Structure 1
Amino acid sequence: MHVIIGGAYNGKRQYVVEQLGNCRYTIYEGELPAKSFSKEEYVIISNFEKIVLSYKNYDELEIAEKILEQLKELQQQTNVICICRDIGRGIVPIEKEQRFIRDACGRVYQRLFNEADTVTRIWYGLPEVIKKEM
């Protein structure tokens, strides 16, 4: 699994698309796919904020566990790339729902980073590999 992290509009999606070149891929925006894939395909998952909201009846740790479980199952079928938007940066939102999203995404991202083979940070279009397992 490859995880891409960076701020909003920092070039994460463009980086992924350029890296994939002519490979087949599908982008899932704010949802986890429920169908089967071939090993030659790439599945790109983005907008974890919306995914987290679909689990709002659970606590942060349960959400992280459920999402990661689904991603691991998907990884067994195909190549998974997760695009994560850095929404924290130490600022605590005033609204309760926004705090919940920030905190739950933080838990999900911690689990994703730990599970991922590669983690790349994009900062204004410049990639920096911060984790690479052989």
Structure 2
Amino acid sequence: MQVVIGGAYNGKRKFVKEVLLNHGKPHFFEGEIPKNILFSREDIIVIGNFEKMILQKVHLDEEIIAEEIFNKIHQLNQQAQVICVCTDIGRGVVPLLKEERKLRDACGRLYQKLFTQSESVIRVWYGIPQVLKGDGL
């Protein structure tokens, strides 16, 4: 599993597409984790828009949300290569609305799990990639 993180509209997806251009055939999923699809180790699954997944589960505890999503990604990573495109929504700002705080907290908990288990973590800041962990994509 690999993670690419950055702010909104900072070039994360563009970076992933450019890197993957010559590597197999990527499958892109936004706001969902594919299920009931068989993939091979040659397949590259790119998953983004975790905020949408989290908002669908906002009635649950943040840790439970993060654990459920992480477990699904971890299972998928057993079949194929998974790249998670994560939007940094925290940056120390505490949202006023309870639902927005829950979204931020659940994202933070999920991202901690993803970062810990990933082979590489790359931050893209306005189109410039910076490897935080591992060798990159």
Could you tell me how far 1:57 is from its partner in structure 2?
Answer: 2.6
Q: Which moved more, 1:56-65 or 1:115-124?
A: 56-65
Aligned length: 133
SS in 1 for 2:34: coil
Q: What are the within-5 Å matches in structure 2 for residues 1-134 of structure 1?
A: 1-22=1-22, 23-34=24-35, 35-132=37-134
Moved over 4 A (4+): none
**Matches of 1:86 and 1:72 in 2, distance apart?**
21
Residues 26 and 46 of structure 2 are in contact (CA less than 8 Å); yes or no, is this contact kept in structure 1? yes
In structure 2, give the amino acid aligned to 1:18.
E
Q: How large is the Cα RMSD of the aligned pairs?
A: 1.1
**Matches of 2:115 and 2:83 in 1, distance apart?**
12
Structure 2 unaligned residues grouped into runs of 5+: none
**Matches of 2:132 and 2:90 in 1, distance apart?**
18
Residues 50 and 107 of structure 2 are in contact (CA less than 8 Å); yes or no, is this contact kept in structure 1? yes
Normalization by structure 1: what TM-score?
0.95
Identity %: 52
**Matches of 1:57 and 1:29 in 2, distance apart?**
21
SS in 1 for 2:47: strand
**Matches of 2:28 and 2:103 in 1, distance apart?**
21
Residues 58 and 99 of structure 2 are in contact (CA less than 8 Å); yes or no, is this contact kept in structure 1? no
**Matches of 1:70 and 1:52 in 2, distance apart?**
13
Structure 1 unaligned residues grouped into runs of 5+: none
Normalization by structure 2: what TM-score?
0.93
Could you tell me how far 1:88 is from its partner in structure 2?
Answer: 0.5
**Matches of 1:72 and 1:105 in 2, distance apart?**
16
SS in 2 for 1:129: strand
